[in-house]
Amino acid sequence: MELAEKLEILADSAKYDVACTSSGVDRGGRHGSLGSCVAPGICHAFTPDGRCVSLLKVLYSNACSYDCSYCVNRRSNDIRRATFDPRELAELTIGFYRRNYIEGLFLSSAVVATPDLTMEKMIEALRILREKYHFRGYIHAKAIPGADPLLVRRLGYLADRMSVNIELPSADSLQRLAPDKKKSAVLAPMGQIAAESKQNRRELQLYRSAQPFAPAGQSTQMIVGASPETDRHIMGLTEALYKKYSLKRVFYSAYLPVVEDSRLPALTTRPPLLREHRLYQADWLLRYYHFSAGELLSEEEPNFNPYLDPKCCWAIRNPAFFPVEVNTAAKEDLLRVPGIGPKSALRIIQARRMQHLGMAELKRIGVVLKRAQYFITCNGYLGAHGTRAEIANALLDPKAFGVGVQQLSFDDCMPKALPDAAPELHRLTAEGMDVLQAAALLKQEAVTCITRQM
Amino acid sequence: MHYQADVADVVYRYDGTMQGFLCCVFESFRRRELPCGICSPEEGRLTLFPEREIATDPARARRVLTGIERLGGGVRQRFMTAFLSTDPEKEQILLRYLRLAFATGRGVDRMLGDPDVAAAWQLERAVNGEAHHFLEFIRFEERDGMLGAVIHPQNMVLPLLRPHFCSRLPDEAFLIYDATHGIAMLRRGNEVRYLEMEDYDRETSPEEQQWQMLWKRFFRALTIEPRRNERCQRTHCPRRFWRDMCEMQGGCLEVPGQSRKALEEPRNA
Ligand code: SF4
């Protein structure tokens, strides 16, 4: 099979894996080798679905011997199959890397024959990259559940980031939809990677020459919308994963029906993109805003509000916390204000050492005041007074009501609900309502509903 | 205003270089005045006010630069970066920023609430933002073992690309051609040079075409159709970068000996 076709098949099979970041390591270039890494990571392209391409994301092979029901590569699916050769994959990575197409390689694989055999091939490809080409760019490698711990270990010394996909948010769902995988088979390598990283950090402190083990840590991914778990359950799981396995990132992937299966949502189901977005927002709140999962959702309210981001939701439920005085508040408190993020908070703290901050100063600092103004005071003065309806309007997430023209064919230029708009908007338009009218109606309802909560 | 200077009915004209600009700063201090305009040679000669030609004197420039350096790395960096901007107001903004900086001392870079500091910071942000986009979107092609790329930036970003690409490609010779300003940055061995350049021919060898075709097909295979969201694509990768990115151009997807149909065959049939 020709290389181009292989690449196409194996990229296509890998594309549902969402993690494509190259973040977490800083490693300058060095003579005699090729490549470098920068901690925030670099995106290199954006596909028409708006997702970033940072790494050459491919499967080593898509010829799977397992049969997970939600997956395109499952054994019983009739698709084109391909498998790389370690050498050709390494060459491809280098060619793309030199042209600045990518930051490195994201290698994962279907289970070819056995997990061990698959891992050995993957390791060989990475070994060629690191040892023959002296590649210092980024490598993200996925450990295959069920592989020998020794192989997981070897992979970790070649990769920057490792991941094991937890796939589904609960053991029940996993058993129902991925009968070949056991929860323990997923958690075992995760635990091993966490333990090895910890030990490696200690070694690196003692000996400078020690080889780093997955210096960018590990991440995982789960599919949302294929199984019945609530957002609250997912956030609880996320928090536990961060704590227990010191994961760097948890990724969510909106379930996209690829196969007809009575255990799964119908093929016509839209991927829950807005829900995925809310989960990511909440995930950020955990990682950068000092929120805990328990603060975001409750038993009575187990799912995120489609029309509000989780932080605004929290602000509405906790009016007693506000207003926050920008000239004196602690960083954690600033971070709770809708519209103030980590960057703005940092700038506020730096700038207020030099001068008192009023609204004009905040604006110059680059703080977006649309939402924040109702929740802050500057030297005792409230940023802005607003009626409940005005505040609710400012807090609404425009994404939920997204309408746009997306030309899929030449004679098609009618405005439509964007793919990541609220499900309710899609439902109304599917019932035949004009999309702009539907968006206006929904917005009205959302404002009414929010003002009632305030 | 936190410093002593009167706005004078005069326009400074300088040679457009950083040294020249530093001499304008010197002049402004010496005369305790703020000119109502500072023009580089590229800007039109029509001004309402009398012009004063400011000669470039390396010794004076050096003195001002030493002064700036004493104000700390943050101030220096903001000045150096913002000066790469092509905003027609940049000289005025930077002059006001530097005057305030000399009057206030260290820490001025953190006074983002001040209008003069904020204006300089915005310039710096815009230049850094653009440079960062080029770290992402530059596409090299290979010709005789050397890498070459064309960009069309608004600002003079080449000096900001230099450390990144020198570190990323430690043993490669490469050239980045800034077609907007007609300057190329050439790195060979351990040396980096900036050259004036008029034209750049794209590489058309079959090997290079093959690489670009591979990349384009990879790019296309990655797209998830049910998630199509071109607006989101354009926010992250604005259209003005597309002209120099090979995957955003059509064509070149065909491989000899393979029909188009094979490519379009639905996967989950
Ligand atoms: S193991 Fe399951 S999820 Fe992984 S490729 Fe095979 S079928 Fe898909």
B147-170 pLDDT, tens digit per residue, is 999 999 999 999 999 999 999 999
Q: Which of residues 255-274 of A touch B (CB under 8 A)?
A: 256, 258-259, 270-271, 273
Cross-chain residue pair A4–B267, CB shorter than 8 Å: no
Quick check: CB of A81 below 6 Å from ligand 1? no
Q: Does A7 touch chain B (CB under 8 A)?
A: yes
pLDDT, position A1: 80
Q: Mean pLDDT over all residues of chain A?
A: 91
pLDDT, position B265: 36
Is the alpha carbon torsion for B152, B156, B161, B166 positive or negative? positive
Distance CA(B217)–CA(A7), nearest Å, equals: 8
pLDDT, position B252: 45
Confirm whether B88 is domain-assigned. yes
A50 CA from centroid of ligand 1 (Å): 25
Quick check: CB of A111 below 6 Å from ligand 1? yes
pLDDT, position A411: 59
B206 CA from centroid of ligand 1 (Å): 37
Confirm whether B1 is domain-assigned. no
pLDDT, position A406: 63
Q: Which residues of B touch A360 (CB under 8 A)?
A: 113
Domain holding B178: CATH number? 3.40.1620
Say whether pLDDT at B20 is over 70.
Answer: yes
A66-78 pLDDT, tens digit per residue, is 988 888 898 998 9
Quick check: CB of A177 below 6 Å from ligand 1? no
Nearest-atom index, ligand 1, CA of A110: 5
Check whether residue B116 and residue B27 sit in a common domain. Answer: yes
pLDDT, position B146: 93
Cross-chain residue pair B221–A12, CB shorter than 8 Å: yes
Q: Does A53 touch chain B (CB under 8 A)?
A: yes
B170-220 pLDDT, tens digit per residue, is 999 999 999 999 999 999 988 999 999 888 888 888 999 999 999 999 999
pLDDT, position A410: 57
Q: How confident is the model at residue B269 (pLDDT cuts 50, 70, 90)?
A: very low
Confirm whether B214 is domain-assigned. yes
Give the other-Cβ count within 10 Å of A360's Cβ.
12
Comparing CB atoms, the residue among B112, B224, B237 nearest residue A256 is B224
Q: Which residues of A touch B135 (CB under 8 A)?
A: 42
Nearest-Cα distance to chain B for A186, in Å, is 26
A120-169 pLDDT, tens digit per residue, is 999 999 999 999 999 999 999 999 988 999 999 999 999 999 999 888 88
Ligand 1, atom 4: closest residue by C-alpha: A110
pLDDT, position B49: 84
Confirm whether B104 is domain-assigned. yes
Contact A50, B234 (CB under 8 A): no
Ligand 1, atom 2: closest residue by C-alpha: A68
Check whether residue B109 and residue B187 sit in a common domain. Answer: no
* Rounded (5°) CA angle B195-B199-B204: 120
Q: For A234, how many CA atoms within 13 A lie in the half-sphere containing its CB?
A: 33
Cross-chain residue pair B111–A419, CB shorter than 8 Å: no
Average confidence (pLDDT) over A46-58 = 91
Check whether residue B126 and residue B25 sit in a common domain. Answer: yes
Quick check: CB of A64 below 6 Å from ligand 1? yes
pLDDT, position B2: 56
Domain that holds residue B91: 6-130
Cross-chain residue pair B219–A8, CB shorter than 8 Å: no
- Cis bond before residue A323 (omega within 30° of 0): yes
B44-53 pLDDT, tens digit per residue, is 666 778 889 9
Quick check: CB of A66 below 6 Å from ligand 1? yes
Check whether residue B94 and residue B21 sit in a common domain. Answer: yes
pLDDT, position A208: 79
Ligand 1, atom 5: closest residue by C-alpha: A110
Domains of chain A (ranges; CATH) run 3-296 (3.20.20.70), 310-395 (no CATH), 399-453 (no CATH)
Average confidence (pLDDT) over B5-34 = 91
Check whether residue B77 and residue B104 sit in a common domain. Answer: yes
Distance CA(A417)–CA(A404), nearest Å, equals: 6
Give, for ligand 1, the residue of A58, A61, A66, A109 to mutate: max count of ligand atoms closer than 8 Å to Cβ. A66
Distance CA(A450)–CA(A305), nearest Å, equals: 10
A169-182 pLDDT, tens digit per residue, is 888 888 888 888 88
B184-195 pLDDT, tens digit per residue, is 999 998 899 999
Q: For A397, how many CA atoms within 13 A lie in the half-sphere containing its CB?
A: 21
Residue that is written with structure tokens 């490549």 in the block: A35
Residue that is written with structure tokens 């402190």 in the block: A205
Q: Mean pLDDT over all residues of chain B?
A: 87
Number of domains in chain B: 3
Quick check: CB of A16 below 6 Å from ligand 1? no
Average confidence (pLDDT) over B226-240 = 86
Q: How confident is the model at residue A378 (pLDDT cuts 50, 70, 90)?
A: very high
Q: Which residues of A touch B258 (CB under 8 A)?
A: 2, 4-5
Average confidence (pLDDT) over B126-146 = 94
Q: Which residues of B touch A98 (CB under 8 A)?
A: 140, 142, 147, 169, 172
Check whether residue B110 and residue B177 sit in a common domain. Answer: no
Q: Does A347 touch chain B (CB under 8 A)?
A: yes
Model pTM score: 0.88
Full 3-state SS string of chain B: CCCCCEEEEEEEECCCCHHHHHHHHHHHHHCCEEEEEEECCCCCCCCCCCEEECCCCHHHHHHHHHHHHHCCHHHHHHHHHHHCCCCCCHHHHHHHHHHHHHHHCCCHHHCCCCHHHHHHHHHHHHHHHHHHHHHHHCCCEEECCEEEEEECCCCCCHHHHHHHHHHHCCCCCEEEEECCCCEEEEEECCEEEEEECCCCCCCCCHHHHHHHHHHHHHHHHHCCHHHCCHHHHHHHCCHHHHHHCHHHCCCCCCCCCCCHHHHHCCCCC
Say whether pLDDT at A190 is over 80.
Answer: yes
Maximum mean pLDDT: which of A58-72, A97-111, A429-443: A97-111
Comparing CB atoms, the residue among B112, B221, B263 nearest residue A364 is B112
Give the DSSP H or E segment for A222. Answer: strand A218-224
Give the other-Cβ count within 10 Å of B235's Cβ.
11
Confirm whether B85 is domain-assigned. yes
Check whether residue B119 and residue B11 sit in a common domain. Answer: yes
Q: Which of B97, B130, B163 is the last residue of a domain?
A: B130
pLDDT, position B4: 64
B63 CA from centroid of ligand 1 (Å): 66
Nearest-Cα distance to chain A for B191, in Å, is 14
The least confident of A22-26, B125-129, B175-179, B202-206 is B202-206
Give, for ligand 1, the residue of A58, A71, A221 to mutate: max count of ligand atoms closer than 8 Å to Cβ. A71
Hey, what are B206's tokens?
A: 């079959």
Number of alpha helices (DSSP H) and beta strands (DSSP E) in chain A? 17, 13
Q: Does A406 touch chain B (CB under 8 A)?
A: yes
Residue that is written with structure tokens 């006001």 in the block: B96
Residue that is written with structure tokens 């995957």 in the block: B247
Confirm whether B201 is domain-assigned. no
Q: Which of B161, B177, B196 is the last residue of a domain?
A: B196
Q: Which of B85, B107, B130 is the last residue of a domain?
A: B130
Check whether residue B166 and residue B188 sit in a common domain. Answer: yes
Check whether residue B97 and residue B168 sit in a common domain. Answer: no
Check whether residue B23 and residue B118 sit in a common domain. Answer: yes
Is the alpha carbon torsion for B7, B13, B16, B20 positive or negative? negative
pLDDT, position B264: 39
Average confidence (pLDDT) over A238-251 = 92
pLDDT, position A266: 83
Check whether residue B101 and residue B45 sit in a common domain. Answer: yes
pLDDT, position A428: 92
Pairing of strands A218-224, B33-39: unpaired
Comparing CB atoms, the residue among B211, B235, B236 nearest residue A99 is B211
Say whether pLDDT at B266 is over 50.
Answer: no
Q: Which residues of A touch B170 (CB under 8 A)?
A: 29-34
Check whether residue B93 and residue B59 sit in a common domain. Answer: yes
Contact B268, A79 (CB under 8 A): yes
Quick check: CB of A73 below 6 Å from ligand 1? yes
